[in-house]
């Protein structure tokens, strides 16, 4: 049974965020900074964020050339430029809010590996379209520098993105949680929302933590649950996409600066602590990877290891040290969903695999709705 003190002081909030990932943290942070006297809570069902916020590759990226070309199949050029601008502004907002040193931001540029010669006409088209977003042309042909990389000779072209970089995902989330504590946001980890009921005066949240179930009350609620949002709002166009990430054992003599993409952005890798972090290949088996279940797809893992040994680091002795998966959210296009469900309830979800770039801005925008 609850005590008098618990009922009178610990269960009622002005603003409650469901989901403790990047979006949820920024929603809580934004609301609390705008309303310092408000009681703000953040609920996360895992001890650590369950989606992809602590399981991503830490890429501050905006879309490789071939990925942007593919995206034009599902949206207009104007919409694609607008989305790219939001991704860029999201990274700028993230960096300004937390500081580059705290999140381990490094402006190392992004590079796309091409199995054919660089399509200069395509590059000129997107440079022209995105010049207004970045203030100058983002893409350039770096194929003449290929000999300075360890890649196999089947890589024929290399395209640089001048404005991409990397972050340290663990430091980023750790910094966010520390900041939430400093400004007085109550963070409940290991707390799962079972159901919610909305009335004229409040939203009642039925939650469970450990073996205890109880009800919290909130004046307004933001669902920042990304791929898991359809558990509460099945009508929304959101479906999960699992991403696999591998990290090698330390590699002697490894020198590789940058963030790298290939296969239209589906595959990616970077060097970290003398290791290679490599992930992706979801396009090889999208049906199986459309799941909320964490785990490893042997087909994808086999291909990633093959790429590592034959394409990225041929001639090196490379072993995988550990691996994990994260769950992203996708839809008919890559535009995030930020909307009110009612006067008291809002949703921010479907970041299209670009959570690092979009998360801070999407979190701010859903808090602004309140």
Instruction: Report the distance separating Cα 301 and Cα 282, nearest Å.
Output: 10
Cα-atom radius of gyration of the chain, to the nearest Å?
Answer: 21
- If you write DSSP's letter for every residue of 231-276 in order, what string do you get? GT-TTSS-EEEEEEEEEEPP-TT----SEEEETTTTEEEEEETTEE
Q: What is the pLDDT of residue 60?
A: 97
Of 176, 216, 182, nearest to 15 by C-alpha is 216
State the pLDDT at residue 50.
Answer: 86
Q: State the pLDDT at residue 9.
A: 86
The residue ranges of the chain whose pLDDT is under 70 are none
Domain 1-58+168-237+340-370 CATH superfamily: FAD/NAD(P)-binding domain (3.50.50.60)
Task: Give the pLDDT confidence score for residue 8 in this predicted structure.
Answer: 81
Chain Cα centroid distance, residue 101: 19
Instruction: Measure the CA dihedral 198/203/207/212, to 10°.
Output: -110
Q: What is the pLDDT of residue 54?
A: 94
| pLDDT score, position 237 | 97
Q: For residue 200, what are the CA distances in angstroms to 10, 34, 195, 341? A: 21, 24, 17, 14
Interatomic CA distance for residues 116 and 114, integer angstroms: 5
pTM: 0.95
Q: Where are the domains of the chain?
A: 1-58+168-237+340-370
């Amino acid at each position: 049974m609850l005590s008098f003190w618990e009922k009178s002081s610990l269960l009622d909030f002005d603003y409650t965020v469901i989901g403790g990932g990047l979006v949820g943290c920024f929603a809580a942070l934004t609301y609390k900074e705008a309303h310092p006297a408000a009681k703000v809570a953040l609920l996360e069902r895992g001890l650590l964020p369950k989606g992809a916020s602590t399981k991503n590759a830490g890429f501050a990226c905006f879309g490789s050339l071939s990925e942007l070309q593919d995206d034009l199949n599902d949206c207009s050029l104007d919409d694609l430029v607008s989305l790219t601008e939001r991704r860029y502004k999201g990274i700028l907002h993230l960096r300004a809010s937390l500081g580059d040193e705290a999140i381990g931001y490094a402006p190392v540029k992004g590079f796309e590996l091409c199995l054919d010669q660089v399509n200069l006409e395509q590059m000129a088209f997107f440079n022209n379209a995105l010049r207004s977003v970045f203030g100058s042309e983002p893409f350039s042909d770096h194929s003449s520098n290929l000999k300075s990389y360890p890649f196999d000779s089947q890589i024929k072209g290399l395209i640089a993105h001048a404005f991409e970089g990397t972050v340290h995902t663990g430091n980023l989330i750790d910094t966010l949680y520390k900041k939430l504590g400093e400004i007085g946001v109550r963070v409940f980890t290991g707390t799962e929302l079972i159901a919610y009921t909305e009335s004229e005066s409040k939203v009642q949240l039925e939650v469970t933590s450990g073996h205890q179930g109880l009800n919290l009350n909130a004046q307004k609620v933001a669902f920042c649950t990304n791929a898991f949002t359809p558990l509460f709002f099945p009508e929304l166009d959101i479906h999960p996409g699992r991403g696999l990430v591998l990290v090698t054992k330390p590699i002697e003599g490894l020198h590789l600066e940058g963030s790298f993409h290939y296969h239209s952005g589906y595959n990616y890798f970077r060097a970290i602590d003398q290791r290679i972090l490599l992930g992706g290949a979801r396009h090889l088996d999208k049906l199986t990877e459309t799941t909320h279940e964490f785990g490893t797809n042997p087909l994808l893992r086999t291909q990633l290891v093959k790429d590592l040994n034959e394409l990225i680091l041929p001639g090196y002795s490379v072993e995988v040290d550990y691996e994990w998966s994260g769950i992203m959210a996708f839809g008919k296009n890559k535009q995030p969903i930020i909307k009110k469900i009612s006067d008291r309830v809002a949703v921010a979800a479907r970041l299209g695999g670009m959570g690092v770039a979009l998360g801070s801005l999407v979190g701010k925008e859903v808090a602004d709705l309140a």
